[in-house]
Structure 1
Amino acid sequence: MSGALARYERAARKAQADGRVPALSVALHRADREPWVFTVGDSGNPGHPLGPDTRFRIGSVTKTFTAVLVMQARDEGLLDLDKPLSAYLDLPAHDDATIRRLLSHTSGLQREPHGDVWDTLVSPDADRLLAELDRAERVLPNARRFHYSNLAFGVLGQLVARLHGTTWDSLLTDRILEPLGLTATTTATPAQAAVGYLVDEFSDAARPEPDLDLGGAGPAAQLWSTADDMATWASFLVSPELIDPDGNVLAAATVDEMRWPLTTRDEVNWISGFGLGLMLHPQGRRAMDVGHNGAMPGFLAGVHGRRGGEGTPDALGCAVLGSSGTADQINELVHELLRMAVELDPAEIEPWSPAPPAPREIRSALGNWWSEGSQFVFSWHDGALQARVAGTPADLPPSIFRPLPGRPDVLRTVSGREAGEQLRLTRDASGAVVLMHWATYRFTRVQEAFDGGAAWDGSGE
C-alpha cells in the first residue's frame, strides 16, 4: 500500500471509530489514478457483509440528480429557469416561484411537505404533494435569502417527470444512471443495503432506524448507492468533460453554470453557498469543493469533488457513506480526503513545450496595455487571446477571447474578468492594433487619463 493510501485508510478508520459509525464506505476517484475504495465496520445485514457493493442511503445527495434532470429539460427547451411554476404546472398555491429559486433554495417554500411526515413516517405521493401545496407555507419572500427546502425539490422532480410524461425514477434511470454506468444507484431498497442506526449518545448501543419511502418527495432524498458510484458522480460534477465527454447527460458548460454561486448559506460566514442544486464549499487559494451532503434516518453521506487549486487532479471526486445518523465525522471526512489527495499525491506537473505563434493579425495586440490607470497584459496561449491585470497571481484565470463570426476585430470575452463583454480592436493604416475598447473602456499603449492626456503630463493641458 502506498503512503498516500495508507494515510487515507487511517483517516477513514479514525472517522469510523471516533464517530462510532457501524459501517463506513469511502471512495476516491481521480482521472490519473485507479479508484480507491475502502470499507470498515459491519453492514448489519447478515446476508450481505460489508464490502464495496454495500448500499447506503445518500439522502439529499439525490437533489443533485434532480437538479441535473431540470437542467437537461432547460437545455432541451422544455422549460425556462426564470419562468414561474405556473407556466408548466396547475398548482393550488406558490406557483409564482421560479425554477431557478427552487433550485437554489431561495424560493421561501417551507422545508418539508405538508404534515408531520417525520412523526407519521408517511410521505405524500406525487399527486398529493402537489395538490397540498396550498397547505404549505411560504415562510420567506421569494428571493429574500437562503432557506433549505425538501419540498422545493419534490416539486422540481415532479415537474420534470410531467414534462417528459413519465415518472421521476424512470427519468433518472434513463437519463443519468444508465448513461454514466451508475448501476448500484437505485430508488428502491436493495438486497445489499446496510442497516441504518441511531447510535446512543451515552452508551455503545445502536438502534436500527426505519426504512422510509419518501413517495412524492423522493426527488429530494430517496436514493441508495455505493461509495464507488457516488465518487464517480462527484467526479462528473467537477469534470463532466472527462466523465461524460460526449455530453450525453449534460453539457460541460451547463454543469459549470450549476456550480456558479447564487447564494451564501449564512449572511456573515461565507464558508458555503449554493448554486443550482449544488453545495459549494470554498477551500482557499481558488479551490472549491462541489457536491452535496445527505441525511436520512440512520444514514449520513458526503459526496463532493474538488475544482481548482494548485495540484488538484482532474476529476477528483470523493464519497463517504455511513450507517449512522449522528456522526459529523462522515461529512467532515469527505473534505479531509480531498485535501489529503491534493497534498499527499498532487497532480503531475505537465512540462511546457513551444507552440505555434499567434496569428499575424493578433500579434500587434500582444503586450502591455493601460486602462483606468492600471496595466494589463495581453498574450496568446492555448490558441486564444488572453488578458490579465499585470501582477495578478498565476492561479487567477485570465480572461479569454474568441472572435465573433465575420467580425475579426471584435472578440467576445468567453471567460474570466468581464465575461460576455466585447473587445474591439482599432488598427492604423498599416493594420497594427493601436487602440482597444474592452467593455467600452479604452485600452492604450501608454498610461492615460480619461480625457486622453498622458499620465506624465501633469499639467492637464
Structure 2
Amino acid sequence: MTSPLTALLPTTERALLHRVATAQSEGRAPSLVAGVAREGRLVWTEARPSAEGDRSVDTQYRIGSLTKTFTAVLVMRLRDEGLLDLGDPLEKHLPGTGVGEVTIAQLLGHTAGLGAESPAPWWERTPGALRPQLADVLGEEPVPHPPGRRHHYSNTGYTLLGSLVEAVRGASWESVLRGEILEPLGLTRTSVQPQSPCAEGWAVHPWADVLLPEPAEDLGLMAPAGQLWSTVADLCRFAVFLTEGDDRVLRASSVAEMRTPSAPAEAGDWDSTYGLGVQIVRRDGRTLVGHTGSLPGFVACLWVSTEDAVAAVVLANATSGPLPGAVAADLVRLVAEGEPRIPEPWRPLPEVDQGLLGLTGPWYWGAHPFGLRLLDGGGLEIQPLRGGGRGSRLIPAGDGTWVGQDGYYAGETLRVVRREDGSVRHLDLASFVFTREPYEAGAGVPGGVDPEGWRGTRS
C-alpha cells in the first residue's frame, strides 16, 4: 500500500495526465511515457497512447546524453577511491590523446575546450566501427577553445572520460557501469543494448502524419556519451540516487558535489549551467538537476528538485517534436506546488555543549546584526538578521574551528578568539570580526574604535 505521504491526490494526477497527453498530442510523438518520484519512491506513471499492462514502466527508450551522468558517476567513484584527482591532467591517466593539459574536472563540466562533435559522418547515425580509435573521434583539431575559459558542450569529452574509466579500471566501460552502478542500484532495465520490450525510434514528417524509422547504431567509443537504453522506473530510481546518494555507489557528499555548478553559463543563458555530469537549470523559481538526452528517434529528460524531493522523467520515441525538458519541469512544478512538501517535525537536539550554546545569539559585523544558531552535531549557522548580507552553515573541523559549507563563506574558517581569562573577545570569520556589540571597544575591531564612542550630529 502506498504511503499517504507519497501518494498523489486525484487532482494532481489529473493535471499530470493532462500535461503528458498534451505533450504527446501536440508534439506528435508515436509514444510518450512519464513518471514522477516523490520522497524516494515512484508514485505516478503514464504512457500515451496508453500501453497494456505495465509497459509504461518497463518499456525501454534510448536516453542519449543522460548516459553522460552515469559516466560522470563512474569518474567520481575513481576520485573517491583516490585513484585520480579531478584536477589531474587527463594525460596523466590516459596518455597519447593529444588534448594537452585539459583536466578531468574540465571534461566533466564541458569546459575543456573540446569540440562538440566528432568529425563527419555524424556519429549518432553511423556505426561506431567507423571511429575505432580515439584519434578518429577527436579529429585533427580536438581543442578549438582555450581550456577552462568557457562552457562548450562536448560529446567527445565524454568519450575521453569513458576511455579514462577503462584505463584506470582495466575493464570495459560497459562492464564497469554494470557492476558499479546498474547492479547496486537495481537498474535491471538499463542497458547498453536494447532489451525487449523496447520502443522503436521514429522521425515524424513535419507536414504530414507519417513516420520514418531511425537507425539504432552501436556508438562504439562514443557510447559513454549517449549509448544507454532505460525505462521510466529505472530512471526515477536513478533520480532518487542523484538526490540522496547511495554508499554502495557514491556517497551523498560526492553526489552533492556533482550538483554544484562547475561551469559558467553561456552569455544570455543565466538560467542554465552545468555541474559535474549534470545539467542545472532554474525553472519556476526552483533549481532542477539532471540531464536531457536525444539520439535519432528518441528524446529524454530527467529533472529532480532536491528541495521538493520530487523528480520527473519523460521519454518519447521521436527525433523531434516533444520537448521533454519542458514537460519534465512542468511535472515537477505540478507536484511541488499542488502538494507542497510536508516539513520534518521539529525536535530538540539530543545533547548540547554549553560552551557552544554560549556562542549563540546576536553578533555584529561593524553595525550589521547577525544571528548565530547552534545546529546538530556541533555545527553553526550565521545569518544576517535584516537586509542583505552573507550567511553560511559551518561544520566543526575538529580543532576548535568551523568551516563554511555554502555561500560566500564556503571553505572559510570561523575561529573563536578569546581573552587571557578565557572569555570570548570576538569571532573571526575569514578575517571579518564579529563582536557582541556594534563596533565594541576592546573587542578586536580592525582599525580600532574611536575612544569617544557613538555620538549624535551635535557632538
Structure 1 and Structure 2 fold alike (TM over 0.5)? yes
The separation in 2 between residues aligned to 1:76 and 1:392, in whole angstroms, is 44
Q: 1:16: which partner in 2?
A: 24
Structure 2 equivalent of residue 167 of structure 1: 172
Q: What are the Cα deviations for residues 334-378 of structure 1, in whole angstroms up to 9, with x where unaligned? A: 000011110111211334344457421122211111114422111
C-alpha spacing 1:123/1:48, structure 2 compared with 1 (3 Å) = farther
Q: Could you tell me which residue of structure 2 aligns to residue 263 of structure 1? A: 263
**Aligned-partner residue type, residue 287 of structure 2:** M
How has the CA–CA distance of structure 1 residues 390 and 177 changed in structure 2, closer, same or farther, with 3 Å as cutoff?
Answer: same
2: CA distance, partners of 1:430 / 1:49: 72
> What residue is the counterpart of 2:449 in the other structure?
453
Match among 399, 413, 425 for residue 392 of structure 2: 399
- Map Cα deviations across residues 109-166 of structure 1 (whole Å, 9 max, x no partner): 1122233134971224785125664524322111121111111101100111121010
Q: 1:341 aligns with which of 330, 335, 345?
A: 335
Partner of 2:442: none
Residues 404, 328 of structure 1: alpha-carbon distance in 2 compared, 3 angstrom cutoff = same
Kindly state the Cα deviation for residue 4 of structure 1 after the two structures are TM-superposed.
Answer: 0.9
Alignment-derived partner of residue 7 in structure 1: 15
Within a 5 Å distance, the mapping from 1:349-368 to structure 2 comes to 349-355=343-349, 358-368=352-362
The offset of 1:91, in angstroms, is 1.6
* CA–CA distance in structure 2, aligned partners of residues 339 and 24 of structure 1: 19
Match of 1:274 in 2: 274
Question: How far apart are the structure 1 equivalents of 2:42 and 2:192?
Answer: 28
Equivalent in the alignment of 1:424: 415
Structure 2 residue matching 1:26: 3-state secondary structure: strand
For 2:326, the aligned partner's letter is: E
Report % sequence identity. Answer: 34
- CA distance in structure 2 between the aligned counterparts of 1:125 and 1:118, rounded to whole angstroms: 9
| 1:433 aligned residue | 424
Compared CA separation, residues 328 and 90, structure 1 to 2 (3 A): same
User: Of 351, 356, 381, which residue of structure 1 is paired with 2:375?
Assistant: 381
Q: TM-score, normalised by structure 2?
A: 0.89
Q: Which moved more, 1:230-239 or 1:181-190?
A: 230-239
Q: Verify the 8 A CA contact 2:191 2:230 in the aligned structure 1.
A: yes
The SS at the match of 2:57 is coil
Deviation at 1:207, TM superposition (A): 1.0
Scaled by the length of structure 1, the TM-score of the pair is 0.89
Which of 135, 149, 171 does residue 154 from structure 2 map onto? 149
Residues 132 and 261 of structure 1: CA distance in aligned 2, closer, same or farther (over 3 Å): closer
Cα distance change, pair 404–142 in 1 and its aligned pair in 2 (3 A): closer
Q: Which residue of 1 aligns with 2:186?
A: 181
Supply the distance in 1 between the matched residues of 2:113 and 2:350 (Cα, whole angstroms): 54
Q: Give, in angstroms, the shift of residue 214 of structure 1.
A: 0.6
Q: Which amino acid in 1 is paired with 2:84?
A: L
**CA RMSD in angstroms, aligned pairs only:** 2.7
Task: Indicate which of 83, 97, 106 corresponds to 1:101.
Answer: 106
Contact 1:125 1:216 (C-alpha < 8 Å) held by counterparts: no
Distance 1:451 1:399, change over 3 A: same
Q: Distance in 2 between matches of 1:264 and 1:199?
A: 35
Gaps of 5+ in 1: none
Contact 1:8 1:337 in 2 (8 A): yes
Deviations 1:380-413 (A, max 9, x none): 23343221111369xx9952333333x33x2333
Offset, 1:50: 4.9
CA contact (8 A) 2:131 2:137 kept: no
- Specify the code of the residue in structure 1 equivalent to 2:174: D
Please list every run of 5 or more consecutive structure 2 residues that lacks an aligned counterpart in the other structure.
1-8, 440-444
8 A contact 2:34–2:312 mirrored in 1: yes
Q: CA 1:202–1:131 in structure 2 vs 1: closer, same or farther (change >3 Å)?
A: closer
Superposition deviation, residue 426 in structure 1: 2.5
The separation in 2 between residues aligned to 1:50 and 1:411, in whole angstroms, is 51
Q: How many aligned residue pairs are there?
A: 442
Secondary structure of residue in 1 paired with 2:65 = helix
Determine the structure 2 residue equivalent to 1:194: 199
